[in-house]
Amino acid sequence: MDACFPVKVTQAHVADLLARRAERPFDVLFFPVLTHALTAVRGCADTASCPLVAGTPLVTRAAFGCDEEGRLPDGARLLSPVLTLTRPAQLAARLFDAVRAIAPELTTDEHERALDRARAGQRRFEESLEREGAQAIARAAADGRAAIVVLGRPYHADPGIHHDIGSELHALGRTTLSVRALPKAREYLDDLGCCAASLDLSDTGRSLTNSGDGEKLVGARIVAAHAYLAAIEICSFKCGQDASLYGEVAEVARRGGKPFLPLHDLDETRPVGSLRLRLRTFLDRLERYEDALRPRMKVGE
């Protein structure tokens, strides 16, 4: 089996947890099969997860010798309910069934209250993330320096997968945001020079079905619309979802002559030297772009 790098990392994480179970004991490892993701993007045929992301818990069960109930040979349990985040009622029912298997005393009321709190917490987190994202973009623009949006997927939040590219950029004095931190509320989009329609991809002519595909394209659109945003795209080794988008993401993010840096096929090897060289080269081009932008902005004023 030749999986993509994030899937390999996932199995390594599970192996690590199991190897250190004596030191950090647990009875249940919650590793759900997430078939669909919630996203602000509209106009797509579907918001499904990549089949590998969704199916990895099942492959992990096989790889680590789980029985049909998900029990590992050492007695721990891998709990992998099939959850569809876009269908709240179905999500609640399936989650309840799954948790009841390990906590039979759980009542429906307790379960509903816990879900409500989880949803509220998620909303608060996303609102604060986007608010801070908007503030960061505004600060960068006021300084005449472009903020850099890292066009990646949710699993690129793992430092082992993104190779600390954000930290490298931060150390070089650059504001860096993930796609999720890009503001998507109407008032923020207006400030960025985007209309709310930017989140609607029905005009692309593509039948996008993957949530991450849609978010990447919308991220590239927002970057294209704002003078002080530029993009770096990171893709992990053997990502089939990204493969079909390479060209389009680059075309959109490069609009207006903006520098764009695609970092493809990232795997477990971290080529520090060449990575820094490529980042510095990109930043050099970005500085020239910013220099060219300043006189134009003054004339416009």
- Site residues (CB under 8 A) for another protein? 1-4, 7, 33, 35, 45-46, 48, 50-52, 54-55, 58-59, 61-63, 65, 68, 82, 205-210, 213, 238-248
Given the complex with another protein, which of 1 and 22 has the nearer CB atom? 1
Given the complex with another protein, which of 141 and 208 has the nearer CB atom? 208
Shortest spacing between CB 227 and another protein, in angstroms: 28
Shortest spacing between CB 218 and another protein, in angstroms: 16
What is d(CA 18, CA 188) in angstroms, rounded to the nearest whole number? Answer: 44
Given the complex with another protein, which of 156 and 174 has the nearer CB atom? 156
User: What SS3 class is residue 205?
Assistant: coil
User: What SS3 class is residue 173?
Assistant: coil
Shortest spacing between CB 59 and another protein, in angstroms: 4
Tell me the one-letter amino acid at 58.
L
Given the complex with another protein, which of 99 and 148 has the nearer CB atom? 99
Given the complex with another protein, which of 247 and 295 has the nearer CB atom? 247
Contacts of 150 by beta carbon, 8 Å cutoff, 6+ apart: 156, 162, 165, 166, 176, 177, 178, 179, 231, 232, 233, 234
Given the complex with another protein, which of 6 and 166 has the nearer CB atom? 6
Select from 217, 221, 219 the least CA-distant residue to 209.
Answer: 217
Tell me the one-letter amino acid at 153.
R
Shortest spacing between CB 207 and another protein, in angstroms: 6
Strand-pair category, 147-151 with 28-30: unpaired
Task: Give me the sign of the Cα torsion angle 97, 87, 183, 127.
Answer: negative
Shortest spacing between CB 230 and another protein, in angstroms: 22
Shortest spacing between CB 105 and another protein, in angstroms: 27
What is d(CA 207, CA 43) in angstroms, rounded to the nearest whole number? Answer: 9
